[in-house]
Amino acid sequence: MNLSLKKILKHSNVLFISELDNSFKKIENILNLFFKKIYYTNSLEKANTFYETFFPNVIIIDINLQKDNGINFIKEIRKRNKNLPIIVITDLKETNILLEAIKLNLIDYILKPLDLNKFINALNLCAKQILNNGDILSFIKNSYKYNYIQKTIINNTEEIKLTKNESRLIEVFLANKNKYIKNEDIKRIIWSQKEISDSAFKSLINRLSNKIGKDLISNSFGMGYGIFD
C-alpha cells in the first residue's frame, strides 16, 4: 500500500460490524494495523448509534448477521452518504444477494474465508475513495476548512489545532450543516452518557468560536447551535 494512502487510513476510524466467528480475530488484527480506531458491534442498532456519534470514515460489515439484515443497513447508510467506503465480508454466495449488494456502491464484496491480499487491496481502495471524496478537507465557511485526518482548522495558510472535543464538535456541525442541533443532542454525541453542566458546554462552544470566529457558529434560543452557509 502506498505510504500516503496508508497514512490516510491511520488517521481514519472504521466501523466493523460482525459476529464473533472464525474470521473475526483475523480481520480485527488487520484493522488494528491500518486504522486509528475501530468501533466494533454485532448489532445494527448499535452500529447506527456509532455511525451518528463517531462519523466513521469506513464501514466493514458482515451482512450475514444472526438477528439483522446487513443489506438493509447499508441501504439506510446510502440514503445519508452515497460515497462512504463500505466493504462487505460474508459467506453468503447467493446470486440475488450479490446483485442487490452491487447496487449499493460498495468498495468490494469479499467472500470468506478471507483472502488477505484482496482485503488489503480493498482497504487501499477505501483510502483512495476518502481522498477522492474530499473527505479529508471540508469547507466550513468563508476561508475556513476542516481537516478530518489531522483534526485541524485551516484558514488560508494558517493551521489551527483543536482539542478532541473541539474537533468532535466541528464534525457534528459539519455533519448537520445548515440546521440547528439542540444542546442536549450535542452533549449526547460528544460526552455520551456523562452529565455535563451548561457552563462546560458553553465553554466548549466559546473555545471553538474563538478559534474559528464567533460569526461562524449560529445560535437560536430553543433551537441550539449550527453552522450555516
The reported pLDDT for the residue numbered 67 is 77
The reported pLDDT for the residue numbered 135 is 66
Q: What is the dihedral of CA 138, 124, 62, 57, to 10 degrees?
A: -10
- Other Cβ atoms less than 10 A from the Cβ of 75: the count is 13
CATH class of residue range 137-226 = mainly alpha
The reported pLDDT for the residue numbered 3 is 52
- Other Cβ atoms less than 10 A from the Cβ of 5: the count is 18
How many Å apart are CA 184 and CA 198, to the nearest integer? 10
The reported pLDDT for the residue numbered 134 is 66
CATH class of residue range 3-132 = alpha beta
The reported pLDDT for the residue numbered 2 is 64
Grid cell for residue 192: 455520551
Grid cell for residue 5: 494512502
User: What is the pTM (predicted TM-score) of this model?
Assistant: 0.66
How many Å apart are CA 213 and CA 9, to the nearest integer? 30
Residue 43's region, left for phi above 0, alpha for psi from -120 to 50, else beta, is beta
Which parts of the chain have pLDDT scores under 50?
Answer: none
The reported pLDDT for the residue numbered 192 is 82
The reported pLDDT for the residue numbered 1 is 67
Domain spans, the chain? 3-132, 137-226
